[in-house]
Structure 1
Amino acid sequence: MKRKHIIVLIVLVLVGLIIFKLSSNKRILEEKKQPEKDTLVRIPVKVAAVVEELRTINLVKTGSLAPFKEAKVLAPMAGTIAQLKVNLGDQVQEGQVLAVIDTRLMQLDLQKAVSNARKLERDLATYTELLAGQAATQEKVNELRQSHADAINQVAQLKKQIADAYIKAPTSGTVATKAVEVGVFANAGAEIATIVNLSQAKVQLNLTESEVYQTRQGQEVKISTDVYPDAEFKGKVSFISPQADETRSYKVELIAENKQSNLLRSGTFVYADFSRQTEQKILLIPREAITESVKDAFVYVLDQDKVRQRQVKTGIESGSSIQIISGLKAGERVVTSGQINLKEGTAISISK
C-alpha cells in the first residue's frame, strides 16, 4: 500500500515538473515574440515654424561704388617708351599727352619717304612733258603716277604713326595704375595706364521684383556711407535692368554727386535710401535657428523624426527674427535649440 502511494507521488511530481517546464518555455517564447525596445538615442531639441508675414519696410539698399568713367590707356603701336609724363594719382585732362614712344627710326623713314615722293613728283612732271611731245609712252607716265601716289600714301602713314606715338588721355580723371616705365618696350595694345573719373560716383545695387516696379528712371535717392557718417550725397536712378538675373534680382545703377571734401572712392559700400516704404511678404524664423555666420547660414529642418541640414540666404533682422530670402518655405519647422549635437540625419525628439 505504501509502495502504491510512493508511485503516485512520484508521478504527480513528474507531471508538475513537466507542467512547470512547459509553462517556462511558453513564457520564453512569448518574450521573444515581443518587439524590441527602441534603443536609438534621440537628441532633444526645440523647434519653430517658418512664418510668412506682411511687413512694411523702409526701402534702404546696400550697394558698392564704381567709377563714373574708367578708361585703360593702350599703346596704339609697338615701341620703346621714350617719355612718361604722369605719375600715380596725377589729375589729367582728356587729350593730355601721357607718354611718348621713341620715333627716331620712324623720323628717318619719313625723311626718306618725303625725298622719294618729291623725286617721283619731279619725274612725273618731266615724263608728262615728254609725253606731250611724244617723247615718252603713256605706260611710263602711268607707272610714275602710281608710284608717286604710293609714295604720298607712305608719307601719310608714317606721319600718322609718329602722331600716334604721342599717347593721350581718352578721358579726364585720376591716374589709378601705371603699367610701364621709361625705356620699357611696349607691344601694340599693351596697357600704359588706367584713368578713373571720380567727378561723379556710380552706385551699383540689386532690387527685388516688387521693389524694381516701384522705382523709376531719374528718381532721387539719398546716398550715405559709414566712411562719412555725417555726410549725405544726392543721387538719381540712371539705369534699371530690363531683365532679372538668376536670383530674380534686377541690377540698378545710380549716379551720385561726389564732393571733393568727402571724396567717394571706387569700391566703397554705401546705403541707398529711396525715401519711401514698401509692403512685402517675407519669411521669418527665430534668429537662434541660424548656425554659423549670417553670410554662410544654414539651419536644421525637421524631416519626420530626423533633421536635414539646409543652406539658406538671409535678409534683414527684425528683433529676435531674421528674414529668409531663399532656402525655406512657409510652414516648415526649424530647430531653434540643441543644434550643437546635430548633424545631417540625426534622430531627434521635440522638447516643449
Structure 2
Amino acid sequence: MKTKYILMAAAVILIGIVAYQLATNKKEINSKKDKVTAVALSIPVKVATATEQQLEVNINKTGTLAPFKEVKVMSVTGGNIQSLRFGLGDKVGKGQVLAVTDDRLLRLELQKNESAAAKLKNDLATYTELLNGKAATQEKVNQVRQDYLDAKNLSDQARKNLADAVIRAPTSGTISIKSVEEGLYVPAGTEIATIIDLSQTKVLVNLTESEVYKVSKGQKVKITTDVYPDKAFQGTVSFISPQADKTNNYAVELMVANASNAVLRSGTFVYADFSKRTTQKILVIPREALTEGVKNASVYVVSGNTAKLIQIQTGSEMGNLIQVISGISAGEVVVTSGQINLKEGSKVSISK
C-alpha cells in the first residue's frame, strides 16, 4: 500500500516536470516566432536625401534662320525699264539707284506745269499792283492767287513723279530676287526685286508654358549648326510673345550676328541652347521617389525606421531630379525604391 502511494507521488512529480518543460518550450517558441514576425515586417528600401542645389535651366530648341530684313522693291510709277542697274546676288546700299523707268512724258508734264505756274505767278504780281492802284478787285486777285497755288501743287507733283521714275534701294543688303529685265514695261506697284539684309539673322522658336517663364529678353543663347559643327554663334532673345498660340506655345525671336568668316544663310537649320545656371537655390529629390505623377505628388519620408507618406508640391524637372516647392525640407530622407510595398507607418530597413 505504501509502495502504491510512492508510485503515485512519483507520477505526479513527473507529470509536473513534463508540464513545466512544455510550458518553457512554448514560451521560447513564441518568443522566436515574434522575433521572426518582427523581422518580416521590416521592409527593405533604398533612400536618398533631399538636397539644395543651384537651379539649372536646360532648354534646347531647333529653328531656321531668316534674314534680319527682307524688303520688296516696288516701282512707284508705270513705264518701260529704261535702265536696270543690278543683278542677282549684288550687294547694294540704301538709296542706291537700282532702275530708271522711261521719264520723257513725266519731264514734259513737269515743264508744262512749271510754265503755267510761272505765268500765274507773274499775273498775281500784276493784279496785286493793280489792286494797290485800285485798278483791280480783291476778288480777282484772290482768284489769280488760288490758280497760282493750284499750278504750283501740280508742278510739285510732277516733280515727285519724275523723281519716282528713279527706283532706289530702300535698305542695304543683297539682291535675292530679280523680277524684271531692262526694256520691260512695268505698271505702278510692280515688284522689281527683293533685298535681304544678312548682317544679322533671326531665329524663331516656340517655347512651352513652363519654358517661356525661364527665358528673358536680352538673354544670351548659344546657336550651333550642322554646317559649322565646330563653331558656336551667340544669339540674343529680342522678342517673347505675350500670348500663346492655339497649341499653347509662345513664339520667341532670337537675333544672331553674322560672322564674316562663317556666313550664315537664310533657311539654315540651327539649334538654340537656352541652358543656364542661375543663382537661385532649389530643393530637389530624385524623380523616382514620387509615388504618383507630378500632379498628385507624394513621397515616403523615413523617420527612424518608420515610413510616413507626405504630400508635396513639385516644380521644374532637371534630368532625373525634380524640384520640391513645399512638403518636405532639406536633409529629410525619402524612399526611392520599394515604395510599392509600403503604407503609412510601415517599418523599414535601409538597403545599401
Normalising by structure 1, report the TM-score.
0.61
2:121 alignment counterpart: 121
Q: Please list, as runs of the form range in 1=range in 2, the aligned pairs for 1:328-339 lying within 5 A after superposition.
A: none
Tell me the number of residue pairs that the alignment of Structure 1 and Structure 2 aligns. Answer: 227
2:223 alignment counterpart: 223
Distance in 1 (CA, whole Å) between partners of 2:92 and 2:251 is 31
Distance in 2 (CA, whole Å) between partners of 1:229 and 1:138 is 83
Distance in 1 (CA, whole Å) between partners of 2:153 and 2:208 is 58
Superposed displacement of residue 124, structure 1 = 2.0
Deviations, residues 62-90 of structure 1 (Å, cap 9, x unaligned)? 11111111111111222222211111111
Distance in 2 (CA, whole Å) between partners of 1:129 and 1:58 is 84
1:132 alignment counterpart: 132
Consecutive unaligned residues of structure 1, counting only runs of 5 or more, are 1-55, 282-317, 319-352
- The one-letter amino acid of 1:84's match is L
2:106 alignment counterpart: 106
SS at match of 2:59: strand
Instruction: Give % identity.
Output: 60
SS at match of 2:131: helix
Consecutive unaligned residues of structure 2, counting only runs of 5 or more, are 1-55, 279-283, 288-318, 320-352
- The one-letter amino acid of 1:108's match is L
Deviations, residues 108-144 of structure 1 (Å, cap 9, x unaligned)? 1111111111111222222222233333333322221
2:152 alignment counterpart: 152
Superposed displacement of residue 153, structure 1 = 1.0
1:191 alignment counterpart: 191
Whose Rg is larger?
Answer: 2
Q: Please list, as runs of the form range in 1=range in 2, the aligned pairs for 1:154-193 lying within 5 A after superposition.
A: 154-193=154-193
2:57–2:214: 8 Å Cα contact kept in structure 1? no
Superposed displacement of residue 200, structure 1 = 0.8
- The one-letter amino acid of 1:64's match is T
2:74 alignment counterpart: 74
Distance in 2 (CA, whole Å) between partners of 1:114 and 1:152 is 7
1:214 alignment counterpart: 214
Deviations, residues 26-51 of structure 1 (Å, cap 9, x unaligned)? xxxxxxxxxxxxxxxxxxxxxxxxxx
Distance in 1 (CA, whole Å) between partners of 2:126 and 2:207 is 77
Q: Please list, as runs of the form range in 1=range in 2, the aligned pairs for 1:1-352 lying within 5 A after superposition.
A: 58-276=58-276
1:59–1:277: 8 Å Cα contact kept in structure 2? no
What is the RMSD computed on CA atoms of the aligned residues? 2.3
Superposed displacement of residue 190, structure 1 = 1.5
- The one-letter amino acid of 2:161's match is Q
2:85–2:97: 8 Å Cα contact kept in structure 1? yes
SS at match of 1:247: coil
2:64–2:204: 8 Å Cα contact kept in structure 1? yes
- The one-letter amino acid of 1:213's match is Y
Superposed displacement of residue 145, structure 1 = 1.4
Superposed displacement of residue 232, structure 1 = 1.1
Superposed displacement of residue 195, structure 1 = 0.7
Q: Which runs of 4+ in 1 moved over 3 A?
A: 276-279
2:59–2:275: 8 Å Cα contact kept in structure 1? yes
1:293 alignment counterpart: none
Distance in 1 (CA, whole Å) between partners of 2:234 and 2:142 is 69
Distance in 2 (CA, whole Å) between partners of 1:219 and 1:204 is 15
2:57–2:275: 8 Å Cα contact kept in structure 1? no
1:95–1:170: 8 Å Cα contact kept in structure 2? yes
Normalising by structure 2, report the TM-score.
0.61
Deviations, residues 147-178 of structure 1 (Å, cap 9, x unaligned)? 11111111111111111222111111111111
Distance in 2 (CA, whole Å) between partners of 1:152 and 1:164 is 18
1:25 alignment counterpart: none
Distance in 1 (CA, whole Å) between partners of 2:58 and 2:142 is 81
Distance in 2 (CA, whole Å) between partners of 1:177 and 1:205 is 26
